[in-house]
Structure 1
Amino acid sequence: MSDPRIEPGVEPRQLLRAMFDAAVEAAQSSHCLPPHLPPPPRGRTLVVGAGKASAEMARVLEQNWAGELSGLVVTRYGYAVPCARIEIVEAAHPVPDQAGLAAARRILGLVAGLSADDLVICLISGGGSSLLVLPDDDLQLADKQEINKALLKSGATIGEMNCVRRHLSAIKGGRLAAACFPAKVVTLLISDVPGDDPADIASGPTTFDRTSCADALAILRRYAIAVPDKVTALLESGRGESVKPGDARLANSETRMIATPQMALEAAAATARAAGVPAYILGDSIEGEARDVGIVMAGVALQVARHHQPFTPPCILLSGGETTVTVRGAGRGGRNVEFLLSLGVALNGQPGIYAIACDTDGVDGQEEIAGAYLAPDTLARAWEKGIKPRERLADNDGHGFFQALGDSVICGPTLTNVNDFRAIYISG
């Protein structure tokens, strides 16, 4: 990949990957968890949690906790790590399964009957909404599975999806913390949501919720998601209401945000600057349809390349957040590769612009692929192979497109999750 606009010694693909790696490293539990540990209690210390990073969080907690410790956390299949005192259970993501249901029931059983002298450390990260699944008594796991599938395809934002999940759950929306009362609860959070709202990270099992059953019902109707009558009845009656601000059962509960998308973006920016390339963070909580965000970011990149506004090249534009994909095609996709393919189509081979888009957990969509690279010759190489970029975008086939070109980014489970990572390198 030779480009006369690139500064000597700066290879775009290598730099972009180094920035992604730096973003992931900044969100590792080994760095960010130990400073937030509470002091040991007079009584028992129990550890519970859920998320793609929860097993690694548990391992780091064990390594930094000298006193008595026991518990259970649930993580995604393939994300378990060895722990000596905390049991690790694997379950399905993004559609919940029986293993997650059994783990959630066991967690509620573990926290029952605690005293005010006891401490519960709750380890929560992205992915916990499906991993910590426990339907309301009126519902079955199959109901949650079907609604979850429909939400994932609908184009609903993560906040909207989690609002629905909270009001159909027996453990989310503050219910886990309420079950721990009167024990002290300290929740350590790795944020994967725009705005870092604790109520939206794993659907907020240990924090109060300001949304309502009426809000959840309105979201289902907004996206025309068909649900069983028992779901409608649950929401219309208000029986699925979550734990609200001021609830006495949350008096001994606190949350500590230990890693965020902004922290990861700042680490990536530092890596770029160390290589001599200025980097600018455009936002850590960008939402919307992935292909629409791609078009907008292409417009910004072209303005920089052609008019040196609002920044002068060479430079790198960074952003994070969580886009959505309204699935209409039958391809293999994820929101990061959907964004990147849309960006590429909009740039139309503009010289001197490169990009990477990856999910920081190592999984974009349901593929064991983090994301992909984009270069000025990406479209040309696709056409040479008989691949039509616009058709692949229409079919939501971002993974198929980039994999055929050898441009997928595969890193395996990262054991953390601070959401999407996007970097656009404009060389001139």
Structure 2
Amino acid sequence: MQDAPALLHRLFERAVAVADPMQSLARVLPPRPDGRVVVVGAGKASARMAEAVEAAWGPCEGLIITRYGYGRPTAGIEIVEAAHPIPDAAGAEATARMLALLEGLGEGDFVLALISGGGSALLTAPAGDITLAEKQALTDALLASGAPIGTLNAIRKQISQVKGGRLAAAAWPARMLALMISDVPGDDPGDIASGPTVGQAGDAAGALAALDRWSVKAPDSVTAFLRAGGDPLAPSDPRLGGVENVIFAAPAQSLAAAAELAREDGIEARILGDALEGEAREVARAHAALALETQAGMAAEDAPVLLLSGGELTVTRTGDGTGGPNAEYALALGIALQGAPGIHALACDTDGVDGAAEVAGAAFGPDLPERARARGIDPEAALARNDAHGFFAAVDGQVVTGPTLTNVNDFRAILVHPPA
């Protein structure tokens, strides 16, 4: 039997490396245009993207907003660090300066926008009378609701002066190329960082319906703005006519790279999908059943089977613990597997941060129930409190990477060996 834990970590590292902008951005970056060039953007990978741009183009004028701890050394582009997933004043101030930087650009100017997941929180410019504090409260409520990321972004872009195409509109009539790393199921450019360079397909009424559907109590200023119709920017708006949006890294590429590496080790790799959504614990239970079914159908001489999946799971937060979608998935998976021999798993976020914790996720093997008992920890109680990070910290199952400088969302791997 292979060293299963080491293999799973190697597969995760491969998935992250394939999405590293220093490895992947150059192939889509055109020669540096003549005239004035301004580089802007936001997201957990945006500073690394800026670093890659300057490696090819040399020092550039511009401003990038990334998560605290995710800054990179650049020669000309200013890097500002701000809060994620709840926006803060640093992000709001930097967003205002970014919009001001784009004002007054002409037809001969060129804007390179670098967009990745996390930009929804980092680009912060509430519309109407909505305050930053109210935007923070709304974001926290949305994250706790269990709503899928597409719903969160559909709401956020309706109440923003920078999302839903408004960053691009601010740069008009300059030409714009937006290079994106996708962290969203389906790889819709309008969902990545809430689409700052893509016009809005939804409307204020849809945002209000979504708040009601997910039982989110929004501040009065938010509902008043939406009831007045908001201020959407249509995809057909002429100010978006000079924008080209290009996704150059996405979850499917990372899963494929991990699958290829596994096959080189003689493992049968099966990709369940790169766009899975749903409640983390429910998806985990379905995957546990699939893993057990897969093992039951294997002969002793069969090659191990690897079940890979990506996407973005959610957690409906009801407890007071510390957790995230990947750790909660791993905990629920471990409970459902009940120490089944020969099955190991890893679930991590490719940006190195699962939920609000500085932990990528978790990994475990068949000895998980024994380790929990030895430490006097009840896995079911931890799951009920949404305390998956606390549980895996206690059983030495956390995966801590630090900033990975990219973000193609969840990476889940279940390695199933044949029955002994």
TM exceeding 0.5:
yes
User: Is the CA contact 2:43–2:65 (under 8 Å) kept in the aligned structure 1?
Assistant: yes
What is the letter of the counterpart of residue 161 of structure 1? L
Matches of residues 289-300 of structure 1 in structure 2 within 5 Å?
289-300=279-290
Shift of 1:409: 0.6
Question: TM-score when scaled to structure 1?
Answer: 0.95
Partner of 1:322, secondary structure, is strand
Shift of 1:268: 0.8
Question: Which residue matches 2:257?
Answer: 267
What is the letter of the counterpart of residue 349 of structure 1? G
What is the letter of the counterpart of residue 394 of structure 1? A
Please give the alpha-carbon distance, in whole angstroms, between the structure 1 residues aligned to 2:220 and 2:319: 29
**Partner deviation per Cα, 1:195-233 (whole Å, 9 max, x = no partner):** 011111100000112111111111111122112322112
User: Is the CA contact 2:266–2:303 (under 8 Å) kept in the aligned structure 1?
Assistant: no
Question: Which residue matches 1:84?
Answer: 75
Question: Which residue matches 2:173?
Answer: 182
**Partner deviation per Cα, 1:147-179 (whole Å, 9 max, x = no partner):** 000000000100000011101100000001011
What is the letter of the counterpart of residue 64 of structure 1? A
User: Is the CA contact 1:285–1:320 (under 8 Å) kept in the aligned structure 2?
Assistant: yes
User: Is the CA contact 1:320–1:422 (under 8 Å) kept in the aligned structure 2?
Assistant: yes
Please give the alpha-carbon distance, in whole angstroms, between the structure 1 residues aligned to 2:219 and 2:397: 43
**Partner deviation per Cα, 1:87-123 (whole Å, 9 max, x = no partner):** 0000000000000000100010001111111110000
Question: Which residue matches 1:403?
Answer: 393
**Partner deviation per Cα, 1:319-340 (whole Å, 9 max, x = no partner):** 0000000001111101001000
Shift of 1:386: 1.0
Shift of 1:241: 3.1
Partner of 2:33, secondary structure, is coil
User: Is the CA contact 2:346–2:364 (under 8 Å) kept in the aligned structure 1?
Assistant: yes
Greater alpha carbon shift after TM alignment, 216-225 vs 17-26: 216-225
1:153 aligns with 2:153: no
User: Is the CA contact 2:128–2:225 (under 8 Å) kept in the aligned structure 1?
Assistant: no
Partner of 1:22, secondary structure, is helix
- Give unmatched runs, 5+ long, in structure 2: none
Q: Percent identity?
A: 53
Please give the alpha-carbon distance, in whole angstroms, between the structure 2 residues aligned to 1:81 and 1:159: 29
Shift of 1:236: 1.2
Question: Which residue matches 1:3?
Answer: none
**Partner deviation per Cα, 1:284-334 (whole Å, 9 max, x = no partner):** 00000000000010011011001249xx65110000000000001111101
1:344 aligns with 2:348: no
Greater alpha carbon shift after TM alignment, 320-329 vs 222-231: 222-231
1:43 aligns with 2:23: no
Matches of residues 95-114 of structure 1 in structure 2 within 5 Å?
95-114=86-105
Matches of residues 344-383 of structure 1 in structure 2 within 5 Å?
344-383=334-373
What is the letter of the counterpart of residue 32 of structure 2? P
C-alpha RMSD of the superposition: 1.2
Please give the alpha-carbon distance, in whole angstroms, between the structure 1 residues aligned to 2:128 and 2:102: 19
Partner of 1:198, secondary structure, is coil
Question: Which residue matches 2:193?
Answer: 202
Partner of 2:313, secondary structure, is coil
Shift of 1:69: 2.3
Question: TM-score when scaled to structure 2?
Answer: 0.97
Shift of 1:40: 3.1
1:319 aligns with 2:309: yes
- Give unmatched runs, 5+ long, in structure 1: 1-5
Please give the alpha-carbon distance, in whole angstroms, between the structure 2 residues aligned to 1:242 and 1:313: 53
User: Is the CA contact 2:60–2:75 (under 8 Å) kept in the aligned structure 1?
Assistant: no
User: Is the CA contact 1:45–1:120 (under 8 Å) kept in the aligned structure 2?
Assistant: yes
Question: Which residue matches 2:248?
Answer: 258
Shift of 1:38: 2.8
Could you tell me which of 46, 57, 64 is aligned with 1:65? 57
Please give the alpha-carbon distance, in whole angstroms, between the structure 2 residues aligned to 1:88 and 1:391: 42
User: Is the CA contact 2:178–2:245 (under 8 Å) kept in the aligned structure 1?
Assistant: yes
Question: Which residue matches 2:17?
Answer: 25
Shift of 1:46: 0.2
